[in-house]
Amino acid sequence: MKQESTTALFPEGNKLSADWFTGEAFLFPLITQDKNNEFSAGSVTFKIGARTNWHTHPKGQVLIVTEGTGFYQEKGKQAQIIKRGDVVNISENVVHWHGASATTAMTHIAITNFLQDVQVTWLQRVTDEEFNHVNNNLK
Amino acid sequence: MKQESTTALFPEGNKLSADWFTGEAFLFPLITQDKNNEFSAGSVTFKIGARTNWHTHPKGQVLIVTEGTGFYQEKGKQAQIIKRGDVVNISENVVHWHGASATTAMTHIAITNFLQDVQVTWLQRVTDEEFNHVNNNLK
């Protein structure tokens, strides 16, 4: 493919809460819910080693990876490598996490649907043991 | 900002119909409507000089510009320059067009809401006269 822009698509934005994210994760909001858009959208940047807690979405979420390489894992399944240009359509009420890898950062746009006023239910942390297991399985 | 990837985020995809687009415009689909996502999303690439017809969306559309520079214009208003990293939240039933400029290509993600089964109503072509007027006003 031909040469394209060489700077990040969006600014990093603001650091996300350690209550729900491990490591350095940032959100740059793109669009808020309104009368037409029954979702919000934002650019989420995960520095090396950063990831969400395990969580669910009551009406699903779409991830569009815009930079780097990381993981998407549903509970009880093998983690998937996700990289720039990949799209993940996350079903409702599926326990999962996403984030960077132990050696690469990852940025995705997240389009998160609302079910009434709820977008996400946060669960337990993705432990270092769980994260290392996923990373070590790649080597 | 630091150096990032140097290739296009998505492939160009398939050429869009000359019935609704002037010039070389392409769609790479990212997500289709389903039980959770009351929208479709795709990456639309406008080569230099390419643009949509005038059109409306019954439940609005969100544009996220991922590459280049182009225009967004609502009927009766001055055209806006839109460029990589910009987000446009288009209201329902507003007559508008978007596309490249006469000298620059532009690619955006389009998230297009459905009202029942309808996403768009296509109207007349953006004439060369209209397009040139917008471009000449910048000089």
Residues of A within 8 A of B66 (CB-CB) are 9, 66
Q: How many CB pairs under 8 A join A and B?
A: 91
Q: Is B18 on the interface with A (CB under 8 A)?
A: no
**CB distance B5–A59 less than 8 Å?**
no
Q: Which of B43, B87, B111 is the best residue to mutate to test the A interface, defined by the most A CB atoms within 10 Å of its own CB?
A: B111
Q: Is B31 on the interface with A (CB under 8 A)?
A: yes
Q: Which of A2, A3, A5 is the best residue to mutate to test the B interface, defined by the most B CB atoms within 10 Å of its own CB?
A: A5
- The model's pLDDT over A27-78, given as tens digits with 9 standing for 90+, comes to 999 999 999 999 999 999 999 999 999 999 999 999 999 999 999 999 999 9
Q: Which of B2, B3, B5 is the best residue to mutate to test the A interface, defined by the most A CB atoms within 10 Å of its own CB?
A: B5
First to last CA, chain B: 29
**E-strand spans in chain B?**
14-15, 21-22, 25-31, 39-46, 51-52, 55-56, 61-74, 80-83, 87-90, 96-100, 106-113, 121-122
d(C-alpha B52, C-alpha B123), whole Å? 10
Query: Of the CATH numbers 3.40.50.620, 3.40.50.150, 3.40.605.10, 2.60.120.10, which one belongs to the domain with range B14-136?
Result: 2.60.120.10
d(C-alpha B123, C-alpha B125), whole Å? 7
In tens digits, chain B (139 residues) has pLDDT values of: 444 556 899 999 999 999 999 999 999 999 999 999 999 999 999 999 999 999 999 999 999 999 999 999 999 999 999 999 999 999 999 999 999 999 999 999 999 999 999 999 999 999 999 999 999 987 5
Domain boundaries, chain A: 19-136
Q: Which residue of B has its CA nearest to A38?
A: B38
d(C-alpha B60, C-alpha A33), whole Å? 12
Q: Is A64 on the interface with B (CB under 8 A)?
A: yes
Question: How long is chain B?
Answer: 139
The CATH architecture assigned to A19-136 reads Sandwich (2.60)
